[in-house]
């Protein structure tokens, strides 16, 4: 039986540093009214939707910095309340991103899922993967990306949640209400974000984002046009690939266009199906609704077959993902040239004595002793020529006494 929802990504064009929240909220309400006219049930707005993307600026004045954040309840604050009131009036659910200042003085890049039918927040998410730097660039002409300076990493994790009242005639008993998940911008680039939601049976992932067309992350070899093309490619790549590998729909809503007439953000608002196919995408850099009908039953194909996690995952081999943060490379292979020095000989000694660290049982040392009879093939500690480890070590020390 189909479980069809009508969903929309609400792209917002340029927002200048001088634009008021009242002005921006007015634009958002216009999009919401258009969505209601199209019988949309859920509307996704971008990351940091109420203001320009202020982390591009170095702001040293504390009072000025605080002015970019929403304090207290975002659904009832004077300037932002009209959006949530309109959602209640239209009986449409919305997901919206904003800069959150907590009562404890903490600051997060946040989004909430607000039910227009129930008139309350059903779930909140705080961005986990903060890009950019803490310290500003030394270049006086640089466009900064200071999310690490202004926000703390999110502390709520990736929690999926059910949304009641969306399906006509009620939800299927065996399925329950639709399962949603949220992430923000850079989170979409990390497979871990998606898999944690996928392991909770997520059916719709909502992603608001602000992505520079040309920024600190851009290879210097790329010109602005090629940089924008590459940014769009990477954006769609991760949305489509991870939707497929977790058998879920996904929506992405962009803040796009030329902020302050010069800071360009890519568009790319889109809706992707569980097979990784683009169902709809933005055609402009301005305010735009991207709409698609999504049958959640189509998630079952992936969830019950190729990505039936309970049948195919092998968690005993995934420990490194949670035990390790940065890259730890395997030991370098010892080459013949290295063994012609006392340092190389000493390396052989260390590798033979400390087998646990070097894991030589599984490592072929390519090109070792190629000119020395009888070793004219790559050598491993297990003795590819039939010799024992001790015999090989004796040979090594005879050739290289310093070992």
Sign of CA dihedral 102, 250, 171, 157: negative
Confidence band for 38, pLDDT divided at 50, 70 and 90? very high
E runs forming strands in 67-199: 70-71, 93-101, 107-115, 120-126, 161-162, 179-184
Catalytic residue list contains 262: no
> What is the C-alpha separation between 270 and 252, in angstroms, rounded?
5
Name the active-site residue from 95, 111, 185, 299: 185
pLDDT tens for each residue of 357-375:
544 444 444 444 444 444 4
b/e per residue 377-399 (b: at least 16 CB within 10 A): eebbbeeeeebeeeebbebbeee
Could you confirm whether domain 4-322 is CATH 3.20.20.10?
Answer: no
Catalytic residue list contains 95: no
Q: Do the bridges between strand 204-210 and strand 249-255 make them parallel or antiparallel, or are there none, so unpaired?
A: parallel
Task: Say which residue the tokens 């946040």 belong to.
Answer: 110
Name the active-site residue from 47, 167, 203, 228: 47
pLDDT tens for each residue of 139-154:
777 788 999 999 999 9
Catalytic residue list contains 47: yes
> What is the C-alpha separation between 46 and 343, in angstroms, rounded?
57
Q: So where are the chain's domains?
A: 4-322
E runs forming strands in 239-373: 249-255, 257-259, 263-265, 270-272, 278-281, 288-295
Instruction: Calculate what percentage of the chain has a pLDDT beyond 70.
Output: 79
pTM of the model: 0.83
**What pLDDT score does 324 carry?**
95
Name the active-site residue from 124, 127, 264, 303: 127
- pLDDT of residue 395 exceeding 60, the answer is no
């Amino acid at each position: 039986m189909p479980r069809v929802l009508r969903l929309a990504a609400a792209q917002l064009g340029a927002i200048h540093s001088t634009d008021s929240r009242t002005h921006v909220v007015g634009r958002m309400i216009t999009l919401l009214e258009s969505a209601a006219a199209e019988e949309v049930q859920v509307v996704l707005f971008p990351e940091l939707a109420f203001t320009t993307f202020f982390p591009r600026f170095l702001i040293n004045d504390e009072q000025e910095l605080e002015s970019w954040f929403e304090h207290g309840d975002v659904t009832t604050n004077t300037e932002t309340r009209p959006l949530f009131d309109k959602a209640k009036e239209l009986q449409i659910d919305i997901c919206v991103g904003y800069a959150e200042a907590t009562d404890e003085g903490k600051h997060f890049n946040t989004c909430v899922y607000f039910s227009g039918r129930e008139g309350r927040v059903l779930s909140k998410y705080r961005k986990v993967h903060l890009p950019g730097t803490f310290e500003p660039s030394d270049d006086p002409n640089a466009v900064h990306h200071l999310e690490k300076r202004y926000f703390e990493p999110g502390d709520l994790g990736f929690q999926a949640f059910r949304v009641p009242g969306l399906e006509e005639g009620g939800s299927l008993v065996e399925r329950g209400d639709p399962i949603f998940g949220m992430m923000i911008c850079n989170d979409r680039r990390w497979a871990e974000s998606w898999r944690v939601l996928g392991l909770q049976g997520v059916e719709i992932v909502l992603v608001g984002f602000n992505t520079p067309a040309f920024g600190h992350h851009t290879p210097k070899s790329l010109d602005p046009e090629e940089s924008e093309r590459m940014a769009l490619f990477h954006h769609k790549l991760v949305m489509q690939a991870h939707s497929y590998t977790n058998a879920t729909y996904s929506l992405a809503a962009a803040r796009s266009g030329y902020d302050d007439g010069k800071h360009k953000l890519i568009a790319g608002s889109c809706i992707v199906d569980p097979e990784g196919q683009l169902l709809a995408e933005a055609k402009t850099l301005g305010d735009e609704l991207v709409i698609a009908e999504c049958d959640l039953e189509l998630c079952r194909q992936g969830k019950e077959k190729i990505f039936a996690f309970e049948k195919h995952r092998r968690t005993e081999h995934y420990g490194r993902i949670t035990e390790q943060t940065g890259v730890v490379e395997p030991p370098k292979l010892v080459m013949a040239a290295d063994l012609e020095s006392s340092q190389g000989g000493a390396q052989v000694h260390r590798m033979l004595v400390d087998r646990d660290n070097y894991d030589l049982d599984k490592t072929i040392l390519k090109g070792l002793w190629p000119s020395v009879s009888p070793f004219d093939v790559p050598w491993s500690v297990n003795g590819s020529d039939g010799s024992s480890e001790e015999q090989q070590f004796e040979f090594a020390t005879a050739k290289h006494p310093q070992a």
